[in-house]
């Protein structure tokens, strides 16, 4: 039999499998490989973007004598955060600002887990250029967050005071496709990035809409892909708070705040695209660049074999679920079968009962335990309960329930999780992926689509 070798990412390791050629529905789908760049090339690319900003003067000219807030992403993603911090420190120091605060946009992530390394990098590179800075690891439950009213869509907005006090607001970001926002753009560094838990929850409840999801965002050039209540609200919140300042008397005032962004599509060792300047222009460009780099449109298949990629995506079912939205849903036919390969070994700092299922006791309770509880309920009843009792993490429960109920998918899982626990949540454990492939190939009733690094790409079904 003519077979094709297939290698899938499995946590920090790989799975080497073989698929009959006639059963394979085309080449393995994975993000476009980026050529590795050395330290000098990476820094030069970012500095070059800062030297030629889009629709903005150079950042060093904007910050002279001004109060500056710089928003950077947390450590949940593996990318160029340290180098972004370094070049922004260099550029801002060259302009002699009056005061600089770096804010780590942790959203609802625990700052003691996801923001500590960011703080060390801020201190290191600020000191290297003689820049005095304050550092704020955002806490979504901080009572000092400022109430600035409601977004046009009704989301109550509470945000970091250091951001509101700044005359110039700078974003250091890395864009990509996103499972709810459509695209991870600068908008997300405001909400959920530096907003209160109540703000994030109200915004995230919009993810229950079937229009909220991958490939849809108001910044997209295709009008048919611009409707997404989740990202429309994120965009509106950023635009709203960029017109509000907190003055020295502690009063909220309307004003024309200056904004600047440094954005890119990148990974740990390379940059595909980088630009600086007007945050709006960067958001619009990033959607197009992400589509070129990691969007795939394919016929839907009866079977799908998928890996979310390496850690942290592969560490818990909470994160693995992202690839259900990003890639699995667009690749599989209604009523199809999927094998998800991810070790789900969990972070060692988490309690054993949480490890591999979720990222915290709270997300275990809301995402996983509600999935176990609701999977036997009629889909309409499950939606009604989630809608009426919505909290963060429940949107993931709803998306998986839709996979089972509306899409009629059978989802198999190859992992380190206990078989009984997987079955309780509606998944079917698989100990040997090769046997799973061989058995389905023998049925001769469809083809297999293989997707690697499914958390980092977008698959649209024809």
Last residue of a domain, one of 244, 267, 292: 292
* DSSP category for residue 24: B
Same domain, 138 and 279: yes
Residue 182: inside a domain: yes
Q: What are φ and ψ of residue 242, in 5° steps?
A: -75, 0
Residue 240: inside a domain: yes
Same domain, 273 and 342: no
Question: What is the domain range of residue 424?
Answer: 3-25+299-461
Residue 33: inside a domain: no
Grouping H, G, I as helix, E, B as strand and the rest as coil, residue 289 is helix
Q: 56 has which bridge partners?
A: none
Last residue of a domain, one of 233, 268, 292: 292
Global confidence as pTM: 0.92
At 99-145, the pLDDT tens digits run 999 999 999 988 988 888 999 999 999 999 999 999 999 999 999 99
Same domain, 213 and 315: no
Same domain, 383 and 235: no
Cis peptide before 326 (omega within 30 of 0): no
Same domain, 49 and 171: yes
Same domain, 330 and 277: no
Residue 34: inside a domain: no
Grouping H, G, I as helix, E, B as strand and the rest as coil, residue 91 is helix
β-strand 3-10 against 13-20: which pairing, if any? antiparallel
| pLDDT < 70 regions, the chain | 78
Same domain, 433 and 388: yes
Q: How far apart are CA 437 and CA 433, in angstroms?
A: 6
Q: Any idea what the CATH number is for the domain that residue 172 is in?
A: 3.40.50.11440
Same domain, 311 and 178: no
The 3-class SS string of 93-106 reads HCCCCCEEEEEEEC
Closest Cα to residue 131, out of 186, 75, 189, 85? 85
- Count of structural domains within the chain: 2
Residue 154: inside a domain: yes
At 220-237, the pLDDT tens digits run 999 999 999 999 999 999
Same domain, 244 and 135: yes
Q: How far apart are CA 239 and CA 233, in angstroms?
A: 10
Same domain, 177 and 278: yes
Same domain, 217 and 320: no
Query: Could you give the residue ranges of the DSSP H alpha helices within 310-364?
Result: 317-323, 329-331, 361-363
pLDDT given for residue 78 in this prediction: 67
Residue 32: inside a domain: no
Which element (helix H / strand E) includes 283?
A: helix 279-294
Q: Any idea what the CATH number is for the domain that residue 428 is in?
A: 3.90.226.30
Same domain, 355 and 441: yes
Closest Cα to residue 43, out of 97, 103, 89? 89
Residue 223: inside a domain: yes
445-to-305, 309, 336, 403 alpha-carbon distances in Å: 16, 28, 11, 21
Last residue of a domain, one of 274, 292, 310: 292
């Amino acid at each position: 039999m003519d077979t094709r070798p297939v290698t899938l990412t499995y946590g920090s390791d790989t799975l080497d499998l073989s698929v009959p050629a006639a059963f394979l529905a085309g080449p393995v789908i994975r993000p476009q490989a980026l050529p590795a760049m050395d330290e000098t090339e990476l820094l030069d690319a970012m500095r070059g973007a800062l030297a030629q900003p889009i629709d903005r003067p150079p950042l060093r000219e904007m910050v002279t004598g001004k109060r500056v807030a710089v928003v950077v992403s947390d450590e949940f993603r593996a990318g160029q955060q340290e180098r972004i911090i370094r070049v922004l420190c260099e550029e801002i120091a060259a302009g002699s600002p009056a005061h600089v605060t770096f804010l780590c946009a942790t959203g609802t992530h625990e700052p003691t887990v996801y923001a500590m390394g960011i703080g060390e990098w801020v201190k290191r590179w600020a000191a290297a250029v003689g820049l005095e800075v304050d550092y704020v690891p955002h806490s979504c439950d901080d009572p000092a967050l400022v109430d600035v009213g409601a977004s046009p869509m009704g989301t109550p907005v509470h945000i970091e005071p250091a951001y509101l006090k700044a005359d110039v607001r700078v974003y250091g970001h890395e864009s990509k496709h996103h499972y709810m926002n459509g695209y991870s753009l600068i908008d997300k560094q405001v909400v959920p990035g530096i907003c209160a838990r109540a703000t994030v929850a109200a915004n995230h409840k919009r993810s229950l809409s079937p229009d909220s999801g991958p490939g849809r965002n108001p910044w997209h050039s295709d009008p048919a892909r611009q409707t997404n209540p989740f990202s429309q609200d994120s965009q509106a919140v950023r635009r709203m708070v960029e017109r509000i300042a907190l003055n020295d008397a502690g009063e909220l005032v309307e004003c024309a705040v200056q904004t600047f962004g440094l954005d890119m599509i990148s990974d740990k060792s390379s940059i595909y695209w980088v630009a600086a300047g007007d945050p709006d222009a960067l958001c619009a460009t990033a959607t197009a660049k992400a589509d070129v780099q990691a969007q795939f449109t394919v016929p839907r298949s009866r079977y799908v074999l998928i890996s979310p990629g390496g850690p942290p995506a592969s560490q818990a079912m909470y994160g693995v679920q992202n690839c259900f939205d990003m890639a699995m849903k667009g690749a599989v036919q209604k009523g199809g079968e999927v094998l998800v390969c991810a070790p789900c070994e969990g972070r060692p700092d988490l309690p054993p009962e949480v490890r591999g299922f979720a990222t915290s006791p709270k997300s275990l309770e809301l995402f996983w335990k509600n999935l176990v509880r609701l999977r036997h309920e009629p889909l309409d009843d499950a939606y009604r309960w989630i809608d009426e009792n919505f909290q963060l993490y429940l949107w993931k429960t709803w998306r998986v329930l839709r996979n089972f109920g509306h899409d009629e998918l059978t989802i198999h899982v190859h992992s380190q999780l206990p078989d009984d626990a997987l079955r309780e949540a509606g998944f079917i454990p698989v100990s040997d992926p090769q046997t799973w492939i061989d058995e389905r190939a023998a049925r001769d009733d469809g083809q297999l689509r293989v997707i690697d690094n499914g958390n980092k790409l977008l698959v649209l079904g024809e």
